[in-house]
């Protein structure tokens, strides 16, 4: 976010998560590649049918040139999904953005008026907008939203793009789910729910069935005024105004901070953050953050606590802390 409230984006855009309409380049390269492959098939057939050595040599030279062109276009296609330098999202230029969050394949933008705009992958309802309500001009494929659209009910009336019913001040995009924090300190969630990451179940041991395509309030935390939310790959964190942290979701690598417990379907306090073991006084957490299957906590004494895998799973590590 710039100092003027502009949203700038870059990176992978294969699922429209940058929301910049860059997919036209992809189609151009795909069409060009198809044409080159057709020419290669024709040149191959001509080479097989050639009678003289001179004719065969000429066809092989043509095939070599076409092969080189195919390689160049394939390389361009691979990078056409990516924005390699920051680009302002022009679809949001009339809005002042105060918070942004990028998930595995979707993005969330929060305006100064409390409205929420989303784009990218919506296959599990993570954008908080039922795909049937997305205009055809904004869709790509079966579940992708090409450019930012506003999240409607229950956050705002469908017929108003200016007046939110629930003013959102912060959002967090996770693996396949999203969290929204209201001005009143309540958390709302949408997306994949089966692994407990939305925390919508009334019982921590009972899974919430189905995906959630429109934001629902995390009811078990209504008694707490929340100041921050953080969505990980398959887990979520919530921070209350008294410095207490709650976690929910799934993690066999320790991201919940709940010891050996690997699954919660409703938020539960992170016990290890209740007491400072050196001073034996109540610990107050000021900031929370997630990165994939890792969780971070910063206390009022400027100490950082972390839980999750000791080594990155894909790097040959194992174990949890």
Percent of the chain scoring above 90 in pLDDT = 69
Name the more confident of 294 and 163.
Answer: 294
Question: Torsion angle, CA of 222/225/228/229, rounded to 10 degrees?
Answer: -10
Q: Which two tokens stand for residue 66?
A: 């076409």
Residues in CB range of 161: below 8 A, 6 or more apart: 115, 150
Cα–Cα distance for residue pair 22/66, rounded to 1 Å: 27
Does an H or E element contain 316, and which?
none
pLDDT at residue 312, as a whole number: 59
pLDDT tens, residue by residue, 210-237: 999 999 999 999 999 999 999 999 999 9
Taking the model in full, what pTM does it have? 0.81
Cα–Cα distance for residue pair 33/52, rounded to 1 Å: 30
In 3-state terms the chain splits into helix, strand, coil percentages (rounded to 5) of 25, 35, 45
CATH of domain 88-315: 2.130.10.30
pLDDT at residue 24, as a whole number: 53
pLDDT at residue 22, as a whole number: 55
Does an H or E element contain 275, and which?
strand 275-276
Task: Assess contact for 124 and 198: CB atoms under 8 A.
Answer: no
pLDDT tens, residue by residue, 163-209: 678 999 999 999 999 999 999 999 999 999 999 999 999 888 899 98
Mean pLDDT in the chain?
A: 90
Residue 252 predicted with pLDDT over 90: no
Residue 43 predicted with pLDDT over 60: yes
Highest-pLDDT range among 145-159, 236-250, 303-317: 236-250
Name the more confident of 311 and 19.
Answer: 19
Percent of the chain scoring above 70 in pLDDT = 92
Domain residue spans of the chain? 24-80, 88-315
The arithmetic mean of pLDDT across residues 268-285, rounded, is 83
pLDDT at residue 261, as a whole number: 79
SS (H, E, C) 125-160: CCCCCCHHHCCHHHEECCCEEEEEEECCCCCCCCCC
Helix (H/G/I), strand (E/B), else coil: 266: strand
Name the more confident of 25 and 152.
Answer: 152
Residue 314 predicted with pLDDT over 50: no
Q: Which two tokens stand for residue 118?
A: 């989303």
At 128, is the pLDDT very low, low, confident or very high (cuts 50, 70, 90)?
very high
pLDDT at residue 316, as a whole number: 42
């Amino acid at each position: 976010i710039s100092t003027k409230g502009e949203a700038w984006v870059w990176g992978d855009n294969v699922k429209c998560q940058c929301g910049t309409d860059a997919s036209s380049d992809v189609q151009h390269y795909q069409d060009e590649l198809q044409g080159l492959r057709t020419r290669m098939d024709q040149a191959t057939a001509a080479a097989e049918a050639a009678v003289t050595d001179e004719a065969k040599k000429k066809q092989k030279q043509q095939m070599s040139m076409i092969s080189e062109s195919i390689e160049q276009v394939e390389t361009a296609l691979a990078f056409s999904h990516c924005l390699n330098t920051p680009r302002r999202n022009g679809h949001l230029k009339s809005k002042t953005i105060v918070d942004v969050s990028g998930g595995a394949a979707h993005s969330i933008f929060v305006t100064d008026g409390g409205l929420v705009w989303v784009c990218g992958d919506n296959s599990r309802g993570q954008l908080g907008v039922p795909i049937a309500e997305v205009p055809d001009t904004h869709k790509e494929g079966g579940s992708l939203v090409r450019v930012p659209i506003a999240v409607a009910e229950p956050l705002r009336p469908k017929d108003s793009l200016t007046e939110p019913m629930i003013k959102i001040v912060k959002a967090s995009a996770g693996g396949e789910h999203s969290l929204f924090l209201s001005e009143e300190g309540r958390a709302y969630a949408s997306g994949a729910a089966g692994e407990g990451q939305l925390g919508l179940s009334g019982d921590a041991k009972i899974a919430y069935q189905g995906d959630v395509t429109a934001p629902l309030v995390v009811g078990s935390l209504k008694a707490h005024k929340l100041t921050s939310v953080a969505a990980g790959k398959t887990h979520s964190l919530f921070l209350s105004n008294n410095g207490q942290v709650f976690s929910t979701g799934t993690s066999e690598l320790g991201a919940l901070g709940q010891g050996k417990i690997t699954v919660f379907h409703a938020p539960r306090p992170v016990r290890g953050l209740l007491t400072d073991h050196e001073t034996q006084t109540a610990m107050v957490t000021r900031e929370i953050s997630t990165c994939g299957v890792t969780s971070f906590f910063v206390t009022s004494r400027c100490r950082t606590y972390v839980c999750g895998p000791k080594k990155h799973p894909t790097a040959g590590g194992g174990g949890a802390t």
